[in-house]
Amino acid sequence: MRAYDRDPLVGRAAENRRVATLLDGARAGRGGALLLTGEAGIGKSALLDHAAEAAEGFRVARATGSEFEQELPFAGLHQLCVPILGSLNVIPEPHREALRVAFGLATGVPDLLRTGLAALELATAAARDAPLLLLVDDAQWLDPASTRALAFLARRVAADPIAVLVAARVPGTPGELDTLPALAVDGLSDDSAGELLAARSPLPLDERVRDRLVAEANGNPLALLELPRAGGFAPPETSSVPTLIERGFQARLTGLPDEARLLLTVASADPTGDPGLLWPAARTLGIDVSRAGAEAAGTGLAEFGTRVRFCHPLARSAVYRAAPPAEVRAAHGALAEATDPVVAPDRRAWHRAQACGGPDDDVADDLERSASRAQARGGVAAAAVFLERAAALTLDTGRRIARTLDAAQAHIDAGDTDAAADLLNTIDAAVLDERRLARVDVLRGRIAFIRSDGDTGPALMVRAAHRLSASDPDRARECFLDAVEMGLVVGRAGGLIEKIMATVRAEAPPPTSPDVLDALTVLATEGHHAAVPLLRAALATPLWSRRPALASMIAGEIYDMETLAALADWLVRTGRESGSPTMLRLGLAQKVVGATLTGDIGQALAVTAEEEAVAEATGGTPLIYHRLHLAAHRGRRDEMLTLIEAATQGPARVTNVHWTTSVLHNGLADYPAALAAARRGVEDGELFLSGAVLPELIEAAVRCDEPDLAARGLDALTVRAEASGIPAALGLAAAARGLLTGVEDHYREAIELFEESPLVPYRARAHLLYGEWLRRRNRRRDCLVHLRTAYELLTAAGADGFARRAATELRATGERALPRATGPAHETLTMQEIAVARLVASGAMSKDVAVQLFISKRTVDAHLRTIFRKLGITSRAQLRDHPGLA
């Protein structure tokens, strides 16, 4: 008989089987994760306990989220890793240091990109000698940093002997855990509930009372067991199940001596469960710990051993909420006194804050210092909470407002725009000077931008600029530039950018020296010929580091592919060195776009996999715009539809959507759809990206017999291309001119201009357009040369839509497009397998690949076995020479 078959939980056969499958898989080296969801008291904790008992031969580590600890960064992950920290010295030094810093064991700023991978490395090291079971209860109360690390780890144990079992309350399950396999734990049937009640009830019950209790508990096991202790039950329309359960726990406090009740209150106020804090705090309050401890333990609410542990998280909540406010403050005050200010200054500050009955500047200063420490350790959410509480305890109005604004900024940085907006609403605008009013506008503008609230974000930035124009003109220009950048990113129709630029021209204070805002103003008023030198000069300033997104838009506008590539490399390098996931992901996305435009489909797919890994490691959502480019380039209509839907849900460059959609449909020869998208792209992106959309507009307009529209597009494209002077831009204009005029020399000129260009897909498209033109003039021999060249280049570049167009043209001549002797890897490998294959082919070892892709070394080796099988090879040396990876 297997361990998990013994003494099974009542009414949980299906749940037991899922747990058994998880454990069996981990025993066999096929790790996995399972998320248990359900209401409070439904039996999730019992399933975790049962799994721990069933895991014969496993190492077991567990953690429990704490309602009182969820703002302290990495607190939950530290709790989970404590039992396996003996393996810390086995993992690579960078990962070892990342965990030490995250857990406060060493000074420094936690590297969010490495902490999740370091936790995975620690878990896999701990599982070398025996399979590992990781149990996490009440995950809804984990701090965000721990939740991200846990989700990252749980999604990457498929090749390791590790089982991860997580329990979380619904509603309230953190979004990062949503991608884990889930099992909803429902209520017990009436028969199972009756069986459980009969077996566990401390009181003899007649049949009518038992049936009423079963009905009242509504299948919730904990409610079923606590209702008799609560002296019966309440009408269902007046109390939720958790309230009934808490009432049952609070009933155990009835008749308890005051000292025992106070001891339980102190225990409930301390999330660490550390007896080294509880007993000194209790003595500070004059509690006889020997007698009171025995009396408190007798209630069954808590155990007082090497760790203080309540029988259920709701029991802790029930005790805490039942205590009078003065008693709660006294408990926190005693715990603050017992907490070492050197070892745990932030926890001490938090207890001091909870002990305050009114404003206290000394405690507020302490909280502000804690906020600074939290921000230094990557705990922006914790910093926001500390600052918010500090503001509430501050007497001086000016300092209180300053701390409130800082707290709102921290909430925005942490992604909690609702909390930030609520804080800003508490500020009385009548007492603010113009500088602080401007800051409020800036904060509200950022909130509106994040929420995709139409034009509100740019408008608030403009208002902030107006407030600062007289007192701080340089900062005012920065606010105007914020408005422009937001408008470009939002990219809505209706002339938003034109309105913003008109305001800038009329109202922005003059620059002390030429700057990027000045260059953008010239572009809007005098056109590309006048603005391109200024834009190039702006790219030579520190714009890269201050506004990398804007810098990339400017480089794209002037067709400066070299600067775009250099900017992407700089972003990736700087992101890795600084540990900034935002900068790294932006750089990786830029590299994908660059690789797509140059036809390196393998690199585009591999880097996309890396960006997704970084997003997952840091709890972000994968960026979309580079994936739009990639899907359009590959002719993936269904994938594009999914990405477009996601892109239009948040702040996205809508012109990017229209550009890539027009590329997709031109490749698929759906010219009316391409024309509709290109029209919108040109309308929405007057200043930026329309230069890239124009070639698609011209081709689609010519195919749809709209020569006047094509002619206007060609005029605009020619101006941009001539102003840039870059051969590839001139090649785009020449190819478009050939389409419109039908003059053969224009096609030839385009091919010559693209000859040395790295933009392989556009070079191939120039051959395709010329080949199509030649075929329609029955010049079969001439057209075959260009159509074959186009087909081979487009196929190698993974531009499947345009390649099919070339193949169709070849068939129309009586030729057949032959497939490559060795298919490119992107046709057979997954995105992550391509990333692994390319890195290994470049000479990287498995451990280095694991670090770069945020997966375990065992997963890398598992991928390699699959890659070898799919490509029909047997060694890394063969991988390096495989033509399909070229």
Instruction: Please tell me the predicted confidence (pLDDT) of residue 724.
Output: 93
The average confidence (pLDDT) of the chain is: 86
Instruction: Please tell me the predicted confidence (pLDDT) of residue 231.
Output: 42
Instruction: Please tell me the predicted confidence (pLDDT) of residue 491.
Output: 58
Residue tagged 């990062």 (tokens): 176
Average pLDDT in the 111-127 region?
87
Backbone angles phi, psi at 61, to 5 degrees: -130, 140
Residue 77, C-beta contacts closer than 8 angstroms, at least 6 positions apart: 63, 102, 103, 115, 119, 145, 146, 149, 150
Instruction: Please tell me the predicted confidence (pLDDT) of residue 6.
Output: 43
Rounded CA-CA distance 351/281 in Å is: 12
Rounded CA-CA distance 166/163 in Å is: 10
Instruction: Please tell me the predicted confidence (pLDDT) of residue 215.
Output: 73
E strand residue ranges, 388-524: none
| Chain segment 822-857, per-residue pLDDT in tens | 456 667 888 888 888 888 888 888 888 888 887 888
Instruction: Please tell me the predicted confidence (pLDDT) of residue 490.
Output: 67
Share of the chain above pLDDT 70, in %: 90
Residue 14 has pLDDT above 60, yes or no: yes
| Chain segment 413-451, per-residue pLDDT in tens | 877 888 899 999 999 999 999 999 999 999 999 998 877
Q: Give the amino acid at 619.
A: G
- Buried residues in 697-708 as b, exposed as e (16+ CB within 10 A): bbbbbbbeebee
CA angle 469, 472, 475 (to 5 degrees): 90
Instruction: Please tell me the predicted confidence (pLDDT) of residue 72.
Output: 73
Rounded CA-CA distance 143/567 in Å is: 35
CA angle 378, 450, 564 (to 5 degrees): 80
Residue 565 has pLDDT above 50, yes or no: yes
Instruction: Please tell me the predicted confidence (pLDDT) of residue 237.
Output: 37
Residue 6 is classified by DSSP as S
Instruction: Please tell me the predicted confidence (pLDDT) of residue 405.
Output: 96
Residue 61 has pLDDT above 90, yes or no: yes
Rounded CA-CA distance 362/261 in Å is: 30
Residue 234 has pLDDT above 60, yes or no: no
**pLDDT band at residue 630 under the 50/70/90 scheme:** very high
